[in-house]
Amino acid sequence: MKWVTRWHVHVDRVASPWLISKFVDKDAEFIFVPWPGPLPSGDMGIPFDFPRSDFRLGHHEGKCTFEAIIKEYNITDPWVLEIAKIVHAADVQTDIDKAPEARGVEAIAAGAMYIVKDDYQALERGFFVYDALYAYVQLKKLREECKDELAKIDRSKRFDFLKARVKKPPEAKIKRSS
């Protein structure tokens, strides 16, 4: 399927394609349109993250687009649900301090568009960030749950112990829309 959003991607418009590509549509193609401008027509693709629109995949009822996609496609992966808290806080300025990682994610997103050649390259590099967050939220939980066991393991073996338990997200490639 084709998916369409605004150009010059930021937090939600990198996180949402990551989520779509890995958990909704492995063959997703993304189209970026100039903004502000006219809203995309339905024949362009599935629109997401357009302000002041009634598209179902956008900010509604205090939730960000990433959260709307989770709800729309019934995504239940526990690590995605943890990432959603970070994405929400990073994308919704009034909630920036609700997740300690949010300011870092927002800072990366703010600088990213100035060092890439286009939105596709921003997604390619941004997917690594969200893959890393996928591992991080698991690691955070593992460190809590295995605290006593980790304390007994030699420091040099802790990394291998944790790495063996961290699940990678599904693979996905960025497809440029033609």
Task: Give 63-91 pLDDT, tens digit per residue.
Answer: 999 999 999 999 999 999 999 999 999 99
Ranges 38-52, 68-82, 106-120, 153-167: which has the least confidence:
38-52
- Listed by start position, the domains of the chain span 2-171
Task: Please compute the mean of the pLDDT values over residues 21-43 and round it to a whole number.
Answer: 89
Residue-level pLDDT at 56 = 79
Distance between CA atoms of residues 92 and 102, nearest Å: 10
In the chain, the amino acid numbered 170 is P
Distance between CA atoms of residues 11 and 59, nearest Å: 13
Q: Judge whether residue 178 has pLDDT over 70.
A: no
Q: Judge whether residue 102 has pLDDT over 80.
A: yes
Contact 87, 64 (CB under 8 A): yes
